[in-house]
Amino acid sequence: MKTPLFSPVILAPLFLLDLMSGGLLSKGWTAPDCTVADGSLLPNLSYYIPSCPMAPKLHVFASCSNVKNLTQTLRSVPRYIEALCLQGTVPVLPADVFGHFPSLRLLRLQLGTLEVASEAFQGLDQLQHLFFEHHASCCQSLYLPPDSLESLRVLSSLSFQGYCLKYSQNIQLPISLSHLTLRHSCLTELQELQGLFSNLVPGSSPTKSWSPVLEVLDLSSNLQLNQASAGALHGLQLRYLRLDGTPLNASGLLGSGLIRLDFLSLVGTGIEKLPGDVTSYFELPALELGRNQIRNIEDGDLPSCCSLELLSLQGNGLRSLPIKFLNSLPQLQRLNLSMNKLGPSLVLPEGLVSTNLRVLDLSHNELCVLPSGAFSGLPQLQELWLNGNNISNLSSESLEGLRWLKTLDLSWNQIKVLKPGWLSSLPSLVSLSLLGTSLEHISGKQLQGPQKLSHLQLGSLEMLDIFPPWPPALLSLEIQASGCIQLNIPSGQPFLFLENLTLQSSNVVLFPDNVSIHFPSLRHLTLQGISPYIFSNRGSHRFFPQLPLLEHLHFWSDNGEADDLHLSGMPRLRVLELGDLNFLSELRPTKLEMVLKVVPQLQVLALSHLNFGNFSESSLRDLGHLRLLLLNSEWALGLDSSLEELIPQMPPYVYFSDINFTCQCESSWVGPWAARAPNTFVHGLEKSICKANASDFSQTPLLSFLSRHCPRHPDFQGFVISFTLLLLLTVLALLGCPKWSWLHHLQTLLHAWWWKLGGRGPRSQFCYDVFISYCEQDQAWVLKELVPVLEKPPPAGKGLRLCLPERDFGVGQGRMDAMALGMEMSRATLCVLSRHALGSLWCNLELRLATYHLVARPGTARLLLLFLEPIDRRKLCGYHRLTRWLQKEDYFDLPRGKVEWDAFCEQLWRRLRKAEQERDD
């Protein structure tokens, strides 16, 4: 019989060499010009990387810029995202373009001039927020077919900003819609809304009687909107109408047919007096008139506004108020008078009397003096904002009568001294802010009086000395001082209930220095500008000896070296943000791995401006729970080749933001990893540059340098070459064997594999669930302990079908036949590894063949490793490079003395089921 010219035995090595050229490595989860993130891991993630505004309670999002080929961009975005933001130039939104995102709840489109197909939003059954935005000065054209929104059955918010809809008519709004926004459009009169949206007002559509129960209508920044025709808003019952920045006369609303209105916003419209006619007609509860020209309020303007519960007159230049201002507004509960000119002395005889007022904002009013009893006529006041004034003295008489006050903001005033008992008239106070003052000394005795004070902000433009006793119910404490913060703790009094602590200063000093402060309940700690000495172990007492419940540490400091940074005593730390710390001290260099070694529960690690030079495997070795790694603003950063061994343990999200790398071939693994990391989203490498040396100012793209100057995948090349040579030598050696049955099986196996690869053959049926590979020294344990547990029938077990060559193949069949055919007929291969197994010739051969199946047939083969004893992963032969292909769940550590069979079997069963799903996909 003639041997085929291209037999499977010859083609297998050629296919592996083709893999080496990059065919397989082109698949992965690096989305060009896209950011994919889970905002629940790091709430301030947008500080480091570009993202998009989202609705509350939405966390998993994708934000893509420079979009030109929409289909290609969306192909690299994961299906399970909740929010999607697209920015670019796309002329047409085709049908069913978002059909692969069933969980999408927010969609923000900034795509220029756009034509939307009728079924563009088909399949978005969960979409709640849809935004069309264009931020240029001129309006862009947008065409929406009448039925384009009908499939969005739970849509609640629809927004058009910077778009002209004059070519769109009779758009059918979903009946679930409650918020409609048209900003910076070419709208000239309210009547045009009925032409744009056929069912906006009840009874306007001849074909469909259902109209959305609209609650919010935002028409802000329509510079040409100046007319309100009769019946333009016929039948609408709105909670909130915004006309900010429009020339429309609010009186035009009287004949618009609007039935109900609760909140009217007229910010920046240029009006000069209170719109009493509109207020009285709708009996408005809320009116927003900020940034207008209302310089004076006449007594005659007030009776028509008696229904108001909220009134904002922010930034109007008011110098005085009518004598009986609040007496004329009996329902008023919230009053905003900020950014006016009511100072320097608050003189309002009879004018500040109300039994209903709950919130009063007098911030930025040039106030210098608060006379005695200034607020005594406001017995129900709960919030008082006096920040940004020039107040220098406070007394209990100034705040007399505010027994229900909960929030008091005195920040950024000229307060120098706090008199004892100044808070005695505020027994219900919960939140107090004294940031940006001129205080030098604050004693706990000065804060006595309120028993419920839980949120405290203290600050000085110079240095600040703080003395106990602390408020007993304190939950949140923020202290800022430009010079120094000195905490005088004579007895080491603890903060028993404090959960959030922020310290911002160039230095923090404990006095005496032989004490420590205990924070047994602290969960969030923010330190800015403070020397790393605060975490030093040099002295006999640490500033933070133990933080047993701390979950989030934000530490930025440009003050000193990081030699003494020790983060011990934080067993529950989940989020760590470090910035502006110098890790390259010439005297005592502190290794990053020493800092991270003591926080094994870390899930989020954000490093900025650390100057640690080289990032290696040892830095992440102990962070088995890490889910997000962010490197920001580093210069001449090197990625050590040892990180390649950690690829299966890499977190799901890795971000490089504003990083300059060193041009070195030790980082050659980065490009292929970023292109084919199935479990890790990698962001920022495609735009990163590298420097050959400190004086190199060229803009050399990192990935371009690696592809041109560095050999591609040298370790993988070594694996392919060694495996190919071994396979050829094995075939040549066995050709001389008198038994030829193995050759038929091997040819059948490779032939079926080759045809399946080309998609021209039916899928093989698996006879076994798991093929088990083990050495002779471990055979007794495998047959006595492992096999019975895995084969245990349901419901006690999973009833797995195991393949053991010595047991399940016929007498006289060669071990090579049994091994090859057994792996081919099994859904997964489980290699039981020990030091004896790594020294066994047959176990190594089986491991090589299993690795070959894993590489040659991704998605159809699964390799699992069971370690019977602690073995360094780097002791696995280099040519296997298993860490490139295996995931975290493919490793099992199962010491013989501590066998947890139920957990092991369940984990193994999940991996088998996932392998079957991946194969079917």
For residue 278, the SS3 value is: helix
* Cα–Cα dist 534/556, whole Å: 12
User: What pLDDT does 536 receive?
Assistant: 76
Per-residue pLDDT tens over the stretch 431-457: 999 999 999 889 888 888 899 999 999
User: Cα–Cα–Cα angle for 325, 294, 349, nearest 5°?
Assistant: 25
DSSP 782-845: IIIIIHHHHHPPTTTS----EE-HHHHS-TT--HHHHHHHHHHTEEEEEEEE-HHHHT-HHHHH
789 falls in which pLDDT band (50, 70, 90)?
A: confident
* Cα–Cα dist 203/233, whole Å: 12
User: What pLDDT does 4 receive?
Assistant: 38
User: What pLDDT does 25 receive?
Assistant: 33
User: What pLDDT does 13 receive?
Assistant: 40
Answer whether the bond into residue 450 is a cis peptide, omega within 30°: no
Region 59-63 average pLDDT: 91
User: What pLDDT does 855 receive?
Assistant: 67
C-beta separation of 179 from 157 below 8 A: yes
C-beta separation of 299 from 275 below 8 A: no
* Average per-residue pLDDT for the chain: 82
Please name the residue that has the structure tokens 């990032």. Answer: 615
User: What pLDDT does 918 receive?
Assistant: 57
* Cα–Cα dist 443/447, whole Å: 7
| Strand pairing report for 863-867 and 891-893 | parallel
C-beta separation of 530 from 506 below 8 A: yes
Nearest to 157 by CA among 134, 132, 140: 132
User: What pLDDT does 613 receive?
Assistant: 79
Amino acid identity of residue 867, one-letter, is F
Q: What are 552's two structure tokens? A: 């989030």
Per-residue pLDDT tens over the stretch 382-411: 999 999 999 988 888 888 889 999 999 999
User: What pLDDT does 132 receive?
Assistant: 95
* Cα–Cα dist 886/829, whole Å: 12
Highest mean pLDDT among 468-472, 657-661, 790-794, 797-801: 657-661
User: What pLDDT does 786 receive?
Assistant: 83
Region 663-685 average pLDDT: 82
User: What pLDDT does 109 receive?
Assistant: 95
Nearest to 864 by CA among 841, 835, 886: 886
pTM, full prediction: 0.74
Per-residue pLDDT tens over the stretch 532-587: 878 877 655 678 888 999 999 999 887 666 666 788 889 999 999 998 876 654 43
pLDDT at residue 12 above 60? Answer: no
Distances (CA, A) of 572 to 567, 577, 596, 603: 12, 15, 13, 10
User: What pLDDT does 730 receive?
Assistant: 72
C-beta separation of 147 from 120 below 8 A: no
Distances (CA, A) of 424 to 399, 403, 421, 427, 445: 9, 9, 5, 7, 11
Strands (E), 216-275: 216-218, 237-242, 260-265
Cα dihedral 786, 789, 793, 794, rounded to 10, equals -130
Distances (CA, A) of 657 to 35, 406, 451, 653, 918: 11, 42, 46, 13, 32
Nearest to 749 by CA among 818, 808, 824: 824
The residue with greater pLDDT, 460 or 763, is 460
For residue 254, the SS3 value is: helix
pLDDT at residue 56 above 90? Answer: no
C-beta separation of 610 from 581 below 8 A: yes
628 falls in which pLDDT band (50, 70, 90)?
A: very high
184 falls in which pLDDT band (50, 70, 90)?
A: very high
C-beta separation of 257 from 234 below 8 A: yes
* Cα–Cα dist 261/274, whole Å: 17
Please name the residue that has the structure tokens 């070459």. Answer: 721
Amino acid identity of residue 810, one-letter, is G
Amino acid identity of residue 565, one-letter, is L
Please name the residue that has the structure tokens 């404090």. Answer: 498
Highest mean pLDDT among 126-135, 317-326, 735-744: 126-135
C-beta separation of 445 from 425 below 8 A: no
| Lowest-confidence region among 149-163, 368-382, 426-440 | 368-382
User: What pLDDT does 20 receive?
Assistant: 38
Per-residue pLDDT tens over the stretch 110-146: 999 899 999 999 999 999 999 999 887 677 889 999 9
pLDDT at residue 358 above 80? Answer: yes
* Cα–Cα dist 501/527, whole Å: 8
Q: Tell whether the torsion through CA atoms of 900, 905, 906 and 912 is positive or negative.
A: positive
* Cα–Cα dist 342/371, whole Å: 14
Per-residue pLDDT tens over the stretch 686-727: 888 888 877 777 788 888 888 888 865 555 556 666 767 777
H helix intervals, 609-713: 617-620, 670-676, 702-709
User: What pLDDT does 521 receive?
Assistant: 93
- Assign 3-class secondary structure to 599-618: CCCCCEEEEECCCCCEECHH
pLDDT at residue 192 above 50? Answer: yes
User: What pLDDT does 589 receive?
Assistant: 40
Bridge partners (DSSP) listed for residue 171: 197
pLDDT at residue 40 above 50? Answer: yes
* Cα–Cα dist 60/585, whole Å: 39
- Residue 820 sits at φ, ψ, to 5 deg, of -65, -45
5 falls in which pLDDT band (50, 70, 90)?
A: very low
Nearest to 727 by CA among 853, 616, 595: 853
Q: Secondary structure of the chain: what % helix, strand, coil (to 5)?
A: 25, 25, 55
User: What pLDDT does 107 receive?
Assistant: 96
pLDDT at residue 9 above 70? Answer: no
Quickly count helices (H) and strands (E) in the chain: 18, 43
Q: What is the DSSP letter of 352?
A: S
* Cα–Cα dist 661/658, whole Å: 10
Strands (E), 148-258: 157-161, 163-164, 179-183, 216-218, 237-242
pLDDT at residue 839 above 50? Answer: yes
The residue with greater pLDDT, 731 or 162, is 162
User: What pLDDT does 714 receive?
Assistant: 53
Region 847-868 average pLDDT: 73
Please name the residue that has the structure tokens 């798991």. Answer: 770
C-beta separation of 325 from 301 below 8 A: no
C-beta separation of 299 from 276 below 8 A: no
C-beta separation of 246 from 217 below 8 A: no
339's torsion region: left (phi>0), alpha (psi -120 to 50) or beta?
left
Please name the residue that has the structure tokens 């420097």. Answer: 691
Strands (E), 565-716: 575-579, 604-608, 614-615, 628-639, 653-662, 681-683, 689-691, 700-701
- Cβ-proximal residues to 625 (8 Å cutoff; 6+ apart), any chain: 600, 601, 602, 603
User: Cα–Cα–Cα angle for 375, 377, 380, nearest 5°?
Assistant: 90
C-beta separation of 530 from 551 below 8 A: no
Q: How many CB atoms lie within 10 A of CB 103?
A: 15
Please name the residue that has the structure tokens 């891991």. Answer: 41
For residue 402, the SS3 value is: coil
Region 362-377 average pLDDT: 88
204 falls in which pLDDT band (50, 70, 90)?
A: low
